[in-house]
Amino acid sequence: MERVVLVTGASGGVGLALCRRLLEEDGRIHLCVACRNALKAEATRDAILELHPAAQVSTVEVDLGSLASVLRAAKELRCRFQRLDFVYLNAGIMPNPHVNFKALWKGLLTGKLLHMLTTAEGVMTQTDRLNGDGLQEVFTTNLFGHFILIRQLESLLCGNEKPSRLIWTSSSNARESAFSLSDYQHAKGQESYSSSKYATDLTSVVLNRKLNKQGLYSSVVCPGLVMSNMTYRILPVFLWTLLMPIMWLIRFFAKTYTLTPFNGAEAHVWLFKQKPEYLDALAKYHSCTSGLGKNYVEPRKMDVDEETAEKFYQKLLELEEQTLERYGDLLD
- pLDDT tens-digit series, residues 137-156: 999 999 999 999 999 999 99
Of residues 291 and 5, more confidently modeled: 5
Note the pLDDT of residue 225.
87
CATH code at position 45: 3.40.50.720
The answer to whether residue 238 is domain-embedded is no
Burial of 54 (0-12, 13-18, 19+ CB in 10 A): exposed
**Over residues 170-185, mean pLDDT:** 94
Closest by Cα among 17, 33, 23 to 55: 23
Chain segment 59-86, per-residue pLDDT in tens = 999 999 999 999 999 999 999 999 999 9
108: pLDDT confidence band, cut at 50, 70 and 90?
low
Closest by Cα among 269, 318, 321, 262 to 289: 262
103: pLDDT confidence band, cut at 50, 70 and 90?
low
**What's phi and psi for 167, nearest 5 deg?**
-130, 110
Q: Which residues are catalytic?
A: 193
Note the pLDDT of residue 243.
76
Of residues 196 and 291, more confidently modeled: 196
The answer to whether residue 116 is domain-embedded is no
**What's phi and psi for 164, nearest 5 deg?**
-105, 160
CA–CA gap between residue 328 and residue 154 (Å, rounded)? 18
The answer to whether residue 117 is domain-embedded is no
Inform me whether the pLDDT recorded for 253 exceeds 90: no
The answer to whether residue 215 is domain-embedded is yes
Q: Residue 90 in contact with residue 7, Cβ under 8 Å?
A: yes
The answer to whether residue 118 is domain-embedded is no
Q: Residue 76 in contact with residue 60, Cβ under 8 Å?
A: yes
SS3 62: coil
For 122-157, letters b (16+ CB in 10 Å) and e give bbbbbebeebebebbbbbbbbbbbbbbbbbbbeebb
**Over residues 313-319, mean pLDDT:** 98
254: pLDDT confidence band, cut at 50, 70 and 90?
confident
Note the pLDDT of residue 152.
97
The answer to whether residue 25 is domain-embedded is yes
The parent domain of residue 320 ranges over 3-96+133-228+262-285+300-330
Q: Which helix (H) or strand (E) holds 305?
A: none
CA–CA gap between residue 240 and residue 124 (Å, rounded)? 16
**Over residues 168-178, mean pLDDT:** 92
The answer to whether residue 150 is domain-embedded is yes
Lowest mean pLDDT, pick from 117-126, 296-305, 316-325:
117-126
The total domain count for the chain is 1
The answer to whether residue 276 is domain-embedded is yes
328: pLDDT confidence band, cut at 50, 70 and 90?
confident
Of residues 247 and 209, more confidently modeled: 209
Question: How many CB atoms within 10 Å of residue 51?
Answer: 11
Note the pLDDT of residue 245.
83
Chain segment 79-101, per-residue pLDDT in tens = 999 999 999 999 999 876 666 66
**Over residues 148-169, mean pLDDT:** 97
**Over residues 99-124, mean pLDDT:** 63
| Amino acid found at 44 | T
116: pLDDT confidence band, cut at 50, 70 and 90?
low
CA–CA gap between residue 309 and residue 315 (Å, rounded)? 10
Inform me whether the pLDDT recorded for 122 exceeds 80: no
Residues 6 or more apart from 44 whose CB is under 8 A from it? Answer: 10, 11, 16, 19, 33, 35, 59
Note the pLDDT of residue 118.
64
Task: Tell me the average pLDDT of the chain.
Answer: 91
Note the pLDDT of residue 115.
58
